[in-house]
Structures are given as C-alpha cells and as structure tokens.
Amino acid sequence: MSSGAVRAAGRGLRRILYLPGNAWILTGTSTVWSIGGALASPYQSLYYFSLGASPVLIGYLAALTSLIASVAQLVGGYVGDVWGRKRAIVLFSFVGVLNNFIFYAVPDAGWLAVPVIVGSVAGIYGPLFSTSLTESMDPSLRPRGIASYSFINTIPSLFSPYLGGLLIAHFGDVQGMRFAFLASGMFGIAGISYRAFALSESYRPVKVPGIREFWSGLLRESRTALLSSGRDVRLLLAYATLAAFGVGMTSTFSVLYFVQSLHFPPYVYGIMVGLTSMASMLLLFPAARMAERVGLKRAVIYASLSIPFNQLFFTYAKDISELITWSVVGGTGSALVGPPLTSLQSDLVPRFMRARIMALFSAIPLLFSVPAQIAGGYLYSITPVLPFIASVPVFAISVFMVTKVREPSWLEE
C-alpha cells in the first residue's frame, strides 16, 4: 500500500472515529492493557476451579469482588467530584495492573481472596474513567464517541482470548493462566505509564476535604445526588441493577459450563469470545447511528430485547454451530446497547453530580450482584444449566423497566 493510500485511510478513519482529548488517551492506554488482559479474563473462573475452588466457592469469590467493588465505586465517584479525576484514575489503574502479578503468584485456592480484594479496590477508578471519557465529548456526538472507544478497545478481544486458550492447552490450566496474568501485568505497565504522563485533569474542584470530612460526606452526598437526579435516572438505575443481577448469576460460570459440561477445549471458548467481540465491533457504529435516528431510549430497548431470548437459547445449545449463533447474537446485543445506554446515563445527569451518579450506576448493580453470584454458585452445583435458565425472567423484567424511562429532550452541561 502506498503512503498516499495509508494517509487517505487514516483520514477516513479519523472521520469515522470521534475521540477528542482525554478520550483518546484513555482509549489507547486501555487497549494496550487489554492485549494482555484479554488473555486471562475469559478464563478466570477456570483458573479458580483448577486451583481447587468449588463452584460454590467461586460464587462467593465473585460476590466478594462485587461487594468490595461496589464500595470502591462509591468512593471513586465522590473522590472524582471533590478531588479531581486524574490522580485517582492513574493511581488505581496501577493497583489494577499490579494485581495481575498477585494472581500469578497465588499457590492455591486458599489465597485467591487476596487478589480478589486488591482488584476490587482498584475499581475506584472505574466511574472516573467513564466520566472523563464522556466529558471530553460533545453531548450530541457521545454515542459515536463511546462507539469509537468500544471499537478500538475491543480489538484485543478478537485474538487474545484464543491465544489465552492456547496457553492453557499447552501449559495446563494453572501454568497457562499464570503466563496470561504475567502478560496482562506487563502490557498494563506499558499502557498505564503513558496514561500517567499524557492524561489531562478534566475537573478541578473548589475544595478538597480532609479525610474525616470525606468519609462522613460519602454516603450523604451519594444519597443526595440520587434523590435529586430525577425519576428517569432512578428507573434507568433499576434497569441496570436487574440486568446486573442476571449477569451475576451467569457470567462467572459460562466458561466452566463450556469446558466442564459441554467438554470443549478452552481455546474454542476463546474463539467464541473473539466472535462475540467481532460482532460487537461491526455493530458499534451502526448502534450509534441507530441511537441518533430513533433516540437513546428506543435504541436501548431494541438492543436489550435480544438478551433474554439469547440466554434461553444458550441453555439448549450443544453443538458448535449453535454456540456460534449464541456468541454472535450475544455480541450483537452488547454492541447495540452499549453506546446508547452510556449516553443516556450521561445525558440524564447534570455535570456537577455526574461522577457520583455514574458511580452509583456501577456500585448499586455491583451490590445486587452479590446475592446473584452466590445463588449462581449454588444453582450451578445442583445442575450446571440452572443459573442460565433462572436469569431469563430477570433480564426480561429489566427490559420492561427501561420502557418507563423518558427520552431526554435537553442536555445540561
């Protein structure tokens, strides 16, 4: 390809993508980290199982992750609104990166609580990441900007899960996963080091409270922000909470069901993850365009409708063609719901309380995931397919909740 053709392709790509300022820094560094992270993340439950954890214990570990992460998300949202964004994003990104080396070193299931706790605390930066990402964008272009972020950040998921599966096939469940965690840590150090250097502060608070004032104000400010955010924000939060409950019952056990019950090798599961990611990538920009045409609320409803049906289909899928169908449909739903949902959350909340409300959109669903993940472990120990069947009505009710949200007719920035 000639240099002129390369420049023309670059100009065409820039016209499609929309990642101004901090959005580009956050996207690029997250993608670098994900090259290694996607080697390990699809197989984490399999790693727990191979170290000696039972399905019930795996459910409790997942619940512990959600419980601590929900508190961390609240802390992160408040810190972002009263301290600023950059410092917490960089600090806790590094905590998340270094946690990969703890996972690498754990000798058996009795030590798994250590990296689970450390990784959950690192979630403090999550709502600040989302807030800084969306604050960089023009409100009218947020669906395209979020699609651009997801498109680039999904690229490692096309090939890394398959490579992770090959590591497991070659070195075994435990040693293969340890190499995957090591790679995730190395790529993370590279990406987050650049993030620390290049990221700009997007919000400068007027006052920085002391530690006592910080803790006393945390729950009070979060509660006040939720009560003053309006009916539609609370309905959307109910939707997110119900969807998280359904995901909590199932996501931890998908790879175990695939490998232990359906008897497929791990790298085939990696192929499924890659197909899901590919479907997501191909539909991200159509999803943003759909949101611009039909409105954010309708776009979320249309995309969410596929989730309960696809989950039910998964319980009947047995051969590779059926599983490929499940994977592609699942990726389609995820791609179509992501940009309009994130944009709808951001558009419904005023800027001055956005970090706190975005934190609640992470923390409260995580909190409700705790009983779901525990229940999923017990249900899986009874019959492996049972958590997936039980999640179907939960996802259906979540779709009903979002139908009650009103389309935003104005934006407050």
Q: Span 218-227, mean pLDDT?
A: 69
Percent of the chain at pLDDT above 70? 83
Q: How far apart are CA 122 and CA 97, in angstroms?
A: 9
CATH code of the domain covering residue 345: 1.20.1250.20
160 occurs within a structural domain: yes
Instruction: Classify residue 68: in a domain, yes or no.
Output: yes
Model confidence at 6: pLDDT above 50: no
Residue 40 pLDDT: 92
Residue 266 lies in a domain: yes
Q: Which pLDDT does position 70 carry in this prediction?
A: 80
Q: How much is the average pLDDT of 140-149?
A: 79
Is pLDDT above 50 for 411? no
pLDDT-derived band at 203 (thresholds 50, 70, 90) equals low
Percent of the chain with pLDDT over 90: 29
pLDDT category, 183, cuts 50, 70, 90?
very high
Domain count for the chain: 1
Compute the 3-state secondary structure of the chain and give helix, strand, coil in percent, each to the nearest 5.
Answer: 85, 0, 15
Give the chain's mean pLDDT.
Answer: 82
Mean pLDDT to the nearest integer, 79-103: 85
Predicted TM-score (pTM) of this structure: 0.78
Residue 211 has pLDDT above 70, yes or no: no
Q: 307 near 380, Cβ under 8 Å?
A: no
User: Is 12 within a domain?
Assistant: no
| Chain segment 226-258, per-residue pLDDT in tens | 676 677 778 888 888 888 899 899 988 988 998
Please give the residue range of the domain that contains residue 297. 17-199+208-402
Residue 263 belongs to some domain of the structure: yes
pLDDT of residue 346 exceeding 90: no
Residue 34 included in any domain:
yes
Q: What is the pLDDT of residue 1?
A: 46
Out of 77-86, 162-171, 301-310, 312-321, the most confident range is 162-171
The string of pLDDT tens digits covering residues 59-71 is 999 999 888 888 8
Least reliable range by pLDDT among 189-198, 286-295, 359-368: 286-295
Higher pLDDT, 267 or 352: 267
Q: Where is average pLDDT lowest: 14-18, 32-36, 94-98, 107-111?
A: 14-18
Asked whether the predicted pLDDT for residue 91 surpasses 80, the reply is: yes
**How high is the pLDDT of residue 296?**
76
pLDDT at residue 196 greater than cutoff 80? yes
Provide the pLDDT confidence category of residue 167 given band limits of 50, 70 and 90. Answer: very high
Q: What would the mean pLDDT of 280-304 be, rounded to a whole number?
A: 74
Does a structural domain hold residue 332?
A: yes
The answer to the question of residue 6 being in a domain is no
